[in-house]
């Protein structure tokens, strides 16, 4: 067992607790202390629920002592992004408008983690309503990347990614509306899974039928991601996409696995180190017997359709707060709402038609025999904090031609929010400056565990879990 309890994986910690080699109270105290120490530096948490967590840890320890049946995550600390409801613990949406909002019920995955014995230690930071790929807001200030505190951890699940990367709890729940799990996971050197649409119920989504936002696991190891997904997945009739029972898991990865490799997806710009590191990871899979097939597909062209849906959704949800509360909102959120208000019904319907067409293109790719699609997760490592999401985004150390941020930095992620396919980012190395780089793996609907099988192979030959950032207290 690790001398530093904050470096235990969830699977290691749960096993040690079941074997009575580790006290849940000890573990929770170690994680709370680390979270408190790091808070002035990283600012990963909106709320640290210390007393609630301590009470839950004492109850977990008593259950072990009494020999009660223990859940698969009994005594393991976890955190939840502050866009996701937690009963009895405030959920601010990263906004001063909701600074005192205390939900009456848990989101489904939160309830399932608690039922599995996991202990909620706090809520992690997010930009207001998850509207941008960096994590800062007028309510919480700036969250920083543990590998380099001058850099962003990404967003919008930036606090969750920073916390897991720095050992402030081994697992976290993030949300992903355009890459918001995968972007910060790649920036911080951890795993992040956007599940298949409906695999993890999302009963509090503002639009259940047009939903393109997902709740999913953020972890350091594949084993933890698999365990966490097993706990939180499964049907719930309150979510129309989750109403039916899950189909059986697909067969194990076949011999001669066919991986479609899309180094670019319509974006002209790609950081040279990102290209080298992601290509090396693909070559590792090829050395293990996979067949690598170059794929040409244009996702960057779907940026406009994605923006129409994002902006119109936020305008429909938040415009009523303007103008009375305008001075309490992030300037970039105000601009997003304003742009959404200018969208016409015809634009919105055209964007939904583009979403359908994109889904058909991705399905056709898999029907042609590709088992898994692989891409870089991002075109460049984490940029500096303080960027305006409406400013041109440069790739290649500031020397590359600049473009709009979604089509330039993360054209790889948002398409799968529109199509519903499961998408996983895994670490594949760090740049000369020490900044993490991620590889994205995508599979057919409900092949989430197949993605984890492939990630497990990669983890075995290119391990990443031994790397830890040094976060000054």
> Where residue 385 sits, what CATH number does that domain have?
3.90.1300.10
Question: Is 467 within the bounds of a domain?
Answer: no
| pLDDT at res. 379 | 98
Q: Above 70 in pLDDT, residue 472? A: no
Query: According to the model, what pLDDT value does residue 378 have?
Result: 98
Has 284 been annotated as catalytic? no
Catalytic residue among 81, 123, 132, 194: 81
Residue 396's pLDDT is 80
For the whole model, what pTM was predicted? Answer: 0.98
Q: How far is CA 140 from CA 31, 137, 143, in A?
A: 21, 5, 8
Q: Would 121 be classed as within a structural domain?
A: yes
CB 85 within 8 A of CB 102: no
Give the C-alpha separation, 363 to 196, whole Å: 13
Query: Strands, E, within 356-471: which ranges?
Result: 372-376, 423-430, 436-442
Residue in this structure with the two tokens 């202390």, named with its chain if needed: 33
Q: Is residue 3 part of a domain?
A: no
Distance of CA 242 to the CA centre of its chain: 20
Band (pLDDT 50/70/90 cuts) for residue 398 is low
> Is pLDDT above 90 for 408?
yes
What confidence tier does 397 reach under pLDDT thresholds 50, 70, 90?
low
Query: How confident is residue 399, by pLDDT bands cut at 50, 70 and 90?
Result: low
212 found inside a domain: yes
Both tokens of 273, joined, read: 């180190």
Q: Tens digit of pLDDT for each residue in 193-250?
A: 999 999 999 999 999 999 999 999 999 999 999 999 999 999 999 999 999 999 998 8
Confidence of residue 285 (pLDDT cuts 50, 70, 90): very high
Q: Stretch 96-105: mean pLDDT, rounded?
A: 97
Phi then psi for 138, rounded to 5 degrees?
-60, -30
Does residue 473 form part of some domain? no
Rounded to whole angstroms, the Cα distance separating 172 from 392 reads 31
Choice among 79, 137, 180, 213 that is catalytic: 180
Number of domains present in the structure of the chain = 1
pLDDT at 1: 60
Cβ atoms of 33 and 161 within 8 Å: the answer is no
Instruction: Report the candidate in 3, 40, 41 with the shortest Cα–Cα distance to residue 22.
Output: 3
The pair of structure tokens assigned to 271 is 């950081």
Q: Residue 312's closest CA among 409, 207, 220?
A: 207
Residue 78 has pLDDT above 70, yes or no: yes
Confirm whether 156 is a catalytic residue. Answer: yes
In a domain, 424, yes or no: yes
Q: Within 21-73, where are the H helices?
A: 24-42, 50-65
In a domain? residue 466? no
Q: How far apart are CA 303 and CA 117, in angstroms?
A: 41
Output the six-digit token pair for 105. Answer: 């019920």
Tokens matching residue 322: 């303007």
Range of the domain at 156: 8-461
CA dist 355 → 87, 308, 362 (Å): 34, 11, 11
Annotated active-site residue 194? The verdict is no
Q: What integer pLDDT is reported at residue 401 of this predicted model?
A: 67
Residue 23 is encoded by which pair of tokens? 């006290």
- DSSP letter for 256, please: T
Token code pair at residue 219:
């972890």
- Picking from 274, 296, 307, 269, the residue whose alpha carbon sits closest to that of residue 414 is 307
Residue 145 covered by a domain: yes
User: Pick the catalytic residue: 156, 157, 313, 379?
Assistant: 156
Return the sign of the alpha-carbon dihedral for residues 456, 457, 460, 462: negative
Write the burial class of residue 408 (CB in 10 Å: 0-12 exposed, 13-18 middle, 19+ buried): buried
């Amino acid at each position: 067992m690790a001398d530093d309890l904050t470096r235990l994986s969830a699977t290691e910690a749960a096993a040690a607790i079941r074997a009575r080699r580790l006290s849940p109270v000890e573990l929770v105290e170690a994680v709370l202390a680390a979270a408190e120490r790091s808070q002035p530096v990283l600012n990963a948490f909106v709320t640290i629920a210390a007393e609630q967590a301590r009470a839950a840890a004492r109850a977990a320890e008593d259950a072990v002592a009494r020999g009660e049946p223990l859940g698969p995550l009994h005594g393991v600390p976890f955190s939840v992004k502050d866009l996701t409801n937690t009963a009895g613990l405030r959920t601010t949406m990263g906004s001063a408008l909701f600074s005192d909002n205390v939900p009456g019920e848990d989101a489904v995955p939160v309830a399932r983690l608690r039922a599995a014995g996991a202990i909620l230690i706090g809520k992690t930071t997010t930009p207001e309503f998850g509207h941008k790929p960096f994590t800062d807001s007028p309510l919480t200030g700036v969250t920083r990347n543990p590998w380099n505190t001058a850099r962003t951890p990404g967003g919008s699940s930036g606090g969750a990614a920073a916390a897991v990367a720095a050992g402030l709890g081994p697992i976290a729940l993030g949300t992903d509306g355009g890459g918001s799990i995968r972007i910060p996971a790649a920036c911080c050197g951890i795993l992040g899974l956007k599940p298949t649409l409906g695999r993890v119920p999302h009963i509090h989504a503002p639009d259940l039928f047009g939903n393109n936002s997902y709740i999913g696991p953020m972890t350091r190891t594949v084993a933890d991601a698999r365990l966490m997904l097993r706990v939180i997945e499964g049907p719930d009739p309150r979510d129309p996409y989750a109403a039916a029972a899950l189909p059986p898991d697909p067969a194990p990865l076949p011999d001669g696995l066919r991986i479609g490799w899309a180094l670019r997806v319509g974006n002209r710009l790609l950081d040279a180190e990102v290209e080298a590191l992601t290509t090396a990871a693909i070559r590792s899979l090829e050395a293990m017997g996979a067949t690598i097939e170059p794929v040409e597909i244009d996702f960057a062209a779907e940026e406009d359709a994605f923006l129409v849906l994002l902006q119109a959704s936020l305008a429909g949800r938040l415009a009523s707060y303007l103008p009375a509360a305008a001075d309490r909102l992030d300037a970039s959120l105000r601009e997003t709402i304003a742009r959404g208000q200018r969208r016409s019904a015809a634009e919105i319907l055209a964007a939904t038609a583009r979403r359908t067409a994109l889904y058909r293109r991705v399905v056709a790719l898999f029907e042609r025999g590709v088992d898994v699609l692989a891409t870089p997760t991002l075109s460049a490592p984490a940029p500096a904090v303080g960027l305006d999401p409406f400013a041109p985004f440069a790739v290649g150390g500031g020397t590359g031609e600049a473009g709009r941020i979604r089509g330039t930095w993360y054209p790889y992620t948002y398409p799968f929010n529109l199509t519903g396919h499961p998408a996983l980012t895994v670490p594949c190395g760090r740049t000369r400056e020490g900044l993490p780089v991620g590889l994205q793996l995508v599979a057919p609907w409900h092949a989430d565990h197949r993605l984890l099988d492939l990630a497990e192979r990669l983890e075995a030959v290119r391990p990443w879990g031994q790397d830890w950032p040094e976060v000054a207290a």
